[in-house]
Amino acid sequence: MNLIDEGLESARQVRCLERGAPLPKNGVVCILGDDLKFSYSALETFCCSNLDPVDVDLLLLAGLIAFADRNSRRNANWVRNFHLELPVHKPEFWASREVTYRLFEALRFLTGDFWSFAFSRRKKRDERALQLRFQAPAGDPVVIPYSGGLDSFAELRLFPVRHSNRMAILVSTIHNTAIPKVIGSTADPNSCRRLRVPVRFNNGHHPEPSFRTRTFLFFVVAATAAKLAGCKEVIVPENGQGSIGPSLIPSGGEHPFLSTHPGFTHRLSLYLREIWGKNTPAFRHPNCWLTKAQMLSEVKREVGLEGWENTRSCSLITKRYKGSNAPEHCGICSNCILRRLALYQMGLGYEGEPYLWQDLNAPRLDESVNRHIRKLLRPTTPNDYRLAAASIVDHKSLSSILQLDANASCLSRVIRDLQECGTEGAFDAHSRLEALLLQHRTEWLSFVGGLEPDSWLAQLAEAN
């Protein structure tokens, strides 16, 4: 089933081949076992009853999609056409109209790109993966995609309150070395178990930074772990500012950021249902109507906030961009601004946290860098200014969206989608979304109002 408008000739072809297969003359080649492979040590920790060929194919397909996305740069038009080829254990199953259509729908919603697929039969079964057999955990476990940020922290801290006597299975990336420390300071180790994403792929030398398929891979792994462990649900911890907010404020010509949007997990569920049927776990968004500060307020009220300072929220790899002396948080990306906004509301003293751009009251962005490490870092660039400005514009735009009549049609579209995908509280989506946006506005105005009027952030907020 070809869903690419302009045909395969204009599509970016990505061919996944088994080792020893003849190399094609065109297209991007991905060698199974080299460029795309399982981390078997991570796969061995899956608390599952068995891993069948369909599960193996699904995980590798999700990895190939992420590989293609990461290795194909976007142009000014944003939208790309992909045609992916993958050897699988059951090609007839994967090529069926229903499965392919649901996959296209989920990816189109998430990335804004067009995708088509072709499947061939594997010449060699992955016996190492297929021979894995484990005992599923007792009781009624719950899977949580765990990033190590404040939302993940809040959900795990509240887990004993919300899910008494249940185990939390935390799915995280292989490379996030800070996560064990965050988990250790957040929860009883006997009540949770960490699973790492078992699919690894080669990024190439010039990866595409938008990487919208990251959560496709992340959530497919989480759902697979849930299905194998007999879990009925996957809990997405994200707050409403992060999950619903970006769908209301698209940036320039970019496709809206929908990585944790309930509309995406709904479409992903429909795809997985074609694969697993009644064994498909449900995705839940218990915090999608709350701000990050409201989540932290609930944590403080119920169990206390011990351990929050170990979390990481930054979307940039600061040490790669600014040198080995750079702190973990840049302080100016949208995630960092939202973190600082929430900590300000909670009175947790975000000023004491180490940020690359530390001082929000400095008159210029380059002057906000901590003076003790300023000479050890790469200088502030025009691109850094653009990143800071974009972050401020996003949060200010979200705070004022209810005040502009021109946004009514966008709000109606988002509300309709939330209702159609059965989001928690969808029957009252209009009033819930309005309350979320009003709360964000209150928090944003308080945050900006607490700064010096001539600070770089206050100037950006005033100018845009």
Do 355 and 327 contact (CB within 8 A), yes or no?
A: yes
Alpha helix (H) residue ranges in 7-71: 40-43, 53-70
Residue 167 forms part of a structural domain: yes
Domain final residue, candidates 75, 100, 130: 130
Q: What whole-number distance in Å separates Cα of residue 31 and Cα of residue 37?
A: 9
Residue 112 and residue 154 in one domain: no
Query: Same domain for 126 and 147?
Result: no
The predicted pLDDT at position 406 comes to 62
Predicted pLDDT at 7: 43
Tell me whether residue 95 is in a domain. yes
Inside any domain, residue 375: yes
Q: Are 114 and 244 in a shared domain?
A: no
Question: Which three-class secondary structure string do you get for 240-267?
Answer: HHHHCHHHHCCCCCCCCCCCCCHHHHHH
Supply 81's token pair: 């056409």
Distance of alpha carbon 399 from alpha carbon 260, whole angstroms = 20
**Final residue in a domain of this structure, among 130, 151, 183:** 130
- Looking only at the bridges linking them, the beta strands covering 36-38 and 199-201 are antiparallel
**pLDDT the model gives residue 392:** 96
Residue 327 lies in a domain: yes
The DSSP bridge partners found for residue 371 are none
The pLDDT value recorded for residue 26 is 84
CATH number at 279 reads: 3.40.50.620
- The reply to whether 20 and 96 lie within a common domain is yes
Indicate the residue among 102, 130, 158 that finishes a domain. Answer: 130
Whether residues 65 and 120 fall in one domain: yes
Considering the domain architecture, whether residues 433 and 351 belong to the same structural domain is answered as yes
Residue linked to tokens 């193996």: 56
Q: CA-CA distance, 19 to 21, in Å (whole number)? A: 6
The verdict on 12 and 124 lying in the same domain is yes
Q: Are residues 261 and 378 both part of a single domain?
A: no
Co-location of 93 and 157 in the same domain: no
Would residue 174 count as lying in a domain?
Answer: yes
Residues 6+ apart with CB under 8 A from 418: 244, 262, 263, 426, 429, 433
Helices (H), 259-329: 262-276, 292-302, 318-322
Q: Which of 117, 50, 115 is nearest to 86 (CA)?
A: 117
Measured between alpha carbons, how far is 318 from 332 in angstroms, rounded to an integer?
11
Buried b or exposed e, range 276-311, using 16+ CB within 10 angstroms: beeebbebbbbbbbbbbbbbbbbbbeeeebebbebb
Domains in the chain: how many in total? 3
Q: What is the pLDDT along the chain (464 residues), one digit of tens a residue?
A: 344 344 444 789 999 999 989 888 888 999 999 999 988 888 877 655 567 899 999 999 999 999 999 988 898 888 999 999 999 999 999 999 999 999 999 999 999 999 999 999 999 888 778 776 656 666 788 999 998 899 999 999 999 899 888 888 899 875 666 677 777 767 777 778 888 888 988 866 667 888 899 999 999 999 998 998 888 999 999 999 999 999 998 776 789 899 999 999 999 999 999 999 998 999 999 999 999 999 999 999 999 998 898 899 998 889 888 999 999 999 999 999 999 999 999 998 766 789 999 999 999 999 999 888 999 999 999 999 999 999 999 999 999 999 877 678 888 888 988 998 887 777 788 899 999 999 999 999 999 999 999 999 999 998 76
Residue 310 lies in a domain: no
Residues of the domain holding 246: 142-198+211-292
Cα separation of 22 and 251, whole Å?
42
Q: In what order do the strands lie in the sheet with 142-145?
A: 192-196, 168-172, 142-145, 233-235, 282-284
Tokens 């992909």 belong to: 82
Residue 27 and residue 72 in one domain:
yes
Q: Degrees (nearest 5) of the Cα angle 232, 234, 240?
A: 140
Q: According to the model, what pLDDT value does residue 47 have?
A: 57
Distance CA 17, CA 145 (A): 30
Is there a domain that residue 399 lies in? yes
Q: Are residues 384 and 449 in the same domain?
A: yes
Candidates 171, 289, 155; CA nearest to 219 is 171
> Are 283 and 394 members of one domain?
no
pLDDT on residue 177: 63
Picking from 193, 281, 190, the residue whose alpha carbon sits closest to that of residue 232 is 281
Q: Cα(344)–Cα(193) distance, rounded to whole angstroms?
A: 32
